[in-house]
Structure 1
Amino acid sequence: MQEPRQELDASNGSNNGGRPRFVPVTALEDVQAVRCAEFHPHGKLYAVGSNSKTLRICSYPKLHDVREDHQTYQPTVLFKRTKHHKGSIYCLAWTPDGQLMATGSNDKTVKLMRFNADTSNLEGQEVELTMHDGTVRDLCFLEDTSNKSSLLISGGAGDCKIYVTDCATGTPFQALSGHSGHVLTLYNWGGAMFVSGSQDKTVRFWDLRTRGCVNMVTPATVPGSRVGSPVAALCVDPSGRLLVSGHEDSSCVLFDIRGGRTVQCFKPHAADIRSIRFSPSAYYLLTGGYDNKLVLTDLQGDLTMPLPSVVVAQHQDKVISGRWHPTEFSFLSTSADKTATLWALPPV
């Protein structure tokens, strides 16, 4: 099921003409809010972390028989670990080759584990990293091209530092200072580059080759002013040209990285935006918010003009994250309604 390159028709409300209608294929139920879910890079499984401290790995189902009247079912859980952290699991990430996985928690620790995709099991001794002095809010992996090792980037509350850990040795070797508020979101692209978004309303660009912050912007969320809002979610398109930030005041800002300017600010939600991701081919943007909705915004036209946005999925409570499948046009969402739901489009 490849990504359809069709324009969203946001005008017709009731008859669903031309509007993608995603159906909930599977729903994993937990006893507490589910904060994070991430697809394994090869797409055949995904990991889910919850406030109940439980880590699960589920198999990704075959989707060719999904119909409009599909009955949602529980996914197959391949691996389950209770009390994975001493606190809620806030974030998780895989290395690009899918052999390492990291989780972060409000117990202030990061856990780094080896993963065997053939057995769907975590293997060997896990490394526990204790350099953070507050909740670990987000994680991402970078490949250190000089020696082909993986680097783990982690950020959060406490001293607001971003730590860089060498995964081969399990040692943090760099603490990046700059943010004056909690780091809420991290996103990497293009090898050595990553961005961080913070409660201090700024987005910082980091380049590990120069060992520091190479740029800082405060996306303006109030038209005609320089006023910003805490940056709760970030992503960069695969070409490295367009940064999109999601804010606590429900704004979404498109920023031209090379031109160093804001393209536009729009409001696809009625409350905080907590998650933002480009679809695999970057035709669409998926945002998740505290208004319980997941919204798809069409990026195929002129980005300076009003963008068509459509609500494609809804939870019973706040949406905390939304993640695309690496190759198929389906996505996972996690919510305060205690579920992690997989959504897909029935064949037309």
Structure 2
Amino acid sequence: MHDGTIRDLAFMEGPESGGAILISAGAGDCNIYTTDCQEDRVCTRHILSLYTWGGWMIASGSQDKTVRFWDLRVPSCVRVVGTCFPRFSPVASVAVDPSGRLLASRSQVVPATHQRRASVRFSPGAHYLLTGSYDTKVMVTNLQGDLTKQLPLTVVGEHGDKVIQCRWHTQDLSFLSSSADRTVTLWTHNP
């Protein structure tokens, strides 16, 4: 379906889907395709990065520097949010905390460091935010404080080349990171 590199994918687990909806996002055509694996039906939406939650919801990061919220039960976007740094870069990664109340997004270039960020994910319970970047570092931000102020950021790991993706374990404070150095590393976060 895509005419370029497939940059991200996920299975949607919803009340009626039974985990049978595949979501893929690609470069080239910059589209997201949702495929109902049981009915072999494809639907297209514009996207560069994605995150699914709540059975039917998708948050997408776009080349137009916005985060869009989609509900698969309706045919169009339900909300558009501009990023904090719209003049710098497209949205490379999005995540929603387990409660559905907090959104984290990463621009491809973070203005203070001019480093490309590849991945952003909330921990189970949303106490920490995990980020990976092209500067080879894996970082954790402690979210247990005043979210309107600067929060503590700790470098918890480093690869030999740029970090591509980071994912928390679903139940504890361990996580995986993958890198262009051709490794996947399992880390444990001990706050």
Calculate the TM-score normalised by the size of structure 2: 0.91
Contact kept? 1:149, 1:166, Cα under 8 Å: no
* Separation of aligned partners in 1, 2:162 and 2:24: 24
Question: For the structure 1 residues 325 and 276, does the alpha-carbon distance in structure 2 shift closer, same or farther, using more than 3 Å as the test?
Answer: same
For 2:23, which of 137, 153, 164 is the aligned residue? 153
- Is residue 2:58 matched to residue 1:194? yes
Contact kept? 1:333, 1:341, Cα under 8 Å: yes
Residues 50-100 of structure 1: CA distance to partner in whole angstroms, max 9, x if unpaired? xxxxxxxxxxxxxxxxxxxxxxxxxxxxxxxxxxxxxxxxxxxxxxxxxxx
* Separation of aligned partners in 2, 1:313 and 1:241: 28
Contact kept? 2:14, 2:54, Cα under 8 Å: no
The higher relative CO (CA closer than 8 Å, separation ≥ 6) is in 1
Question: Letter of the aligned partner of 2:62 in structure 1?
Answer: S
* Separation of aligned partners in 2, 1:202 and 1:172: 27
Please tell me whether Structure 1 or Structure 2 has the larger radius of gyration of its CA atoms. 1
* Separation of aligned partners in 1, 2:41 and 2:92: 25
Residues 4-31 of structure 1: CA distance to partner in whole angstroms, max 9, x if unpaired? xxxxxxxxxxxxxxxxxxxxxxxxxxxx
Q: Which runs of 5+ in 1 are unaligned?
A: 1-130, 252-266
Q: Which runs of 5+ in 2 are unaligned?
A: none
Question: For the structure 1 residues 318 and 167, does the alpha-carbon distance in structure 2 shift closer, same or farther, using more than 3 Å as the test?
Answer: same
| Count of matched residue positions in the alignment of Structure 1 and Structure 2 | 191
Q: Percent identity?
A: 55
Residues 37-61 of structure 1: CA distance to partner in whole angstroms, max 9, x if unpaired? xxxxxxxxxxxxxxxxxxxxxxxxx
- Is residue 2:65 matched to residue 1:212? no
Match of 2:161 in 1: 317
> Residues 24-43 of structure 1: matches in 2 within 5 Å?
none
- Is residue 2:92 matched to residue 1:232? yes
* Separation of aligned partners in 2, 1:199 and 1:294: 24
Match of 1:243 in 2: 103
* Separation of aligned partners in 2, 1:159 and 1:305: 38
Q: 1:316 is paired with a residue of what secondary structure?
A: coil
Contact kept? 2:31, 2:48, Cα under 8 Å: no
> Residues 260-271 of structure 1: matches in 2 within 5 Å?
271=115
Calculate the TM-score normalised by the size of structure 1: 0.51
Residues 157-183 of structure 1: CA distance to partner in whole angstroms, max 9, x if unpaired? 2322221111224x233222xx4xxx3
In the TM superposition, residue 200 of structure 1 has moved relative to its aligned partner by: 2.4
* Separation of aligned partners in 2, 1:136 and 1:211: 23
Question: For the structure 1 residues 193 and 228, does the alpha-carbon distance in structure 2 shift closer, same or farther, using more than 3 Å as the test?
Answer: farther
Match of 1:302 in 2: 146
RMSD: 2.0
Question: For the structure 1 residues 270 and 211, does the alpha-carbon distance in structure 2 shift closer, same or farther, using more than 3 Å as the test?
Answer: same
Q: 1:154 is paired with a residue of what secondary structure?
A: strand
> After TM superposition, what 4+ stretches of structure 1 lie above 4 angstroms from structure 2?
none
* Separation of aligned partners in 2, 1:134 and 1:215: 27
In the TM superposition, residue 270 of structure 1 has moved relative to its aligned partner by: 5.4
Match of 2:2 in 1: 132
Question: For the structure 1 residues 331 and 147, does the alpha-carbon distance in structure 2 shift closer, same or farther, using more than 3 Å as the test?
Answer: closer
* Separation of aligned partners in 2, 1:168 and 1:220: 39
* Separation of aligned partners in 2, 1:241 and 1:283: 13
Contact kept? 1:275, 1:322, Cα under 8 Å: yes
* Separation of aligned partners in 2, 1:148 and 1:330: 27
Residues 204-242 of structure 1: CA distance to partner in whole angstroms, max 9, x if unpaired? 111111122111222022xxxx63521111100001111
Q: 1:281 is paired with a residue of what secondary structure?
A: helix
Residues 276-313 of structure 1: CA distance to partner in whole angstroms, max 9, x if unpaired? 11111210001000111011101111100111111111
Q: 2:126 is paired with a residue of what secondary structure?
A: coil
> Residues 7-86 of structure 1: matches in 2 within 5 Å?
none
In the TM superposition, residue 144 of structure 1 has moved relative to its aligned partner by: 4.2
* Separation of aligned partners in 2, 1:285 and 1:155: 23
